[in-house]
Amino acid sequence: LFILFSANKFYLNYINLTSISEVGNIFLKTLVGIEILFYFPLVVFLKLFLIDKKINFIQISLITSFYIILGLLTAFATNSRSDFYQIIFILFFFIFVFYLFNKKNNFIIILISIIIMFILITSSWINTSILSLRDIRTDVNRTELLKLSLENKQEKQIIIDQDILSEDYTGYAMFDRFILIKYFDKSLYLSDLFTESVRANFIAENKNLALSVIPQTFINLFNPDFNKKNYQFSSGTLIERMSGYNFSKYSLGSIFVESKILYKNFNYLIFPLYLIIAFIYFNAFQKNEENSVVFSPIIIPFSWWLYHFSGLDGLHHFLTLSREVIQATIIYFLIFKLINLFTKNKNEK
């Protein structure tokens, strides 16, 4: 599984960026949907180290280093900081859960936590390198982006009103990336600048943005003129444009604010449905027994998605994430069915 999911990760992130976003490419969309399973073997390795004591510290250090380095290189190649944050978040979440249920090995827990914190504090240059190349991310392939990121020494300059729209909450860019409320703050302020006519335009564009989640072939059955390539931007960018600002094509917004714009006062009834659906689904990955709660190991990689359900860009992001969660769940289920079948046959022999 480690080799299989690593190969999928490498294949997805070192091919041309335009081919990944190519409309109607169901095969690539499926591979993207199960990319999160790349971290599942890491959970198994951590269990073998911390709980089962079947691998030593040097082995787990080499494995973890592989994940961190690949995450960093992938972040540069895709011009997306999320690939680096994923591995850091999943590592930290596993350590946190392990400590809650097994308060032994305090030295190991503290050591790993210190290493993670050190990486975060000293890695602001990653943000600088990635953001400075954000405007050309769709113009060059991923190999070129990786090379440019490693060579890049310039700092991105964004001139905005720091008192109103600043996303610098802690002074450390790596920590700020985990503070999802900043996207809500900015989007809420900008949306208050909307007039009724601007709001009507936003609703019309937002419908098309949500529609772009559906495969191009199906959309064209009802709307032959619709082209998904015209809607490769975020809800946050749409809010910025319509409020008179335009910082980036890929600015994150807030599903809270989008819901407020779309539904006004009914927002307080509509938005909780998003979270209820998410929690019902993820709750299926735990089993409540008489004296314990048993978690499926896949919930550790899925924690990245669960964390982001409160900081989604908009409805289109919710639909895309839901599709990827379902895809990954199905593949995970099929893999374990095959493993159990193989193990059963082997034992019978």
Q: According to the model, what pLDDT value does residue 153 have?
A: 52
Q: According to the model, what pLDDT value does residue 200 have?
A: 93
pLDDT at 215 over 90: no
pLDDT band per the 50, 70, 90 thresholds, residue 203: very high
pLDDT at 123 over 80: no
Mean predicted confidence (pLDDT) in 212-235: 83
Q: What pLDDT digit, counting tens, does each position of 50-68 carry?
A: 888 898 888 988 998 899 8
pTM of this structure: 0.76
pLDDT band per the 50, 70, 90 thresholds, residue 158: very low
Residue with tokens 């208050």: 192
Specify the higher pLDDT residue, 232 or 191.
191
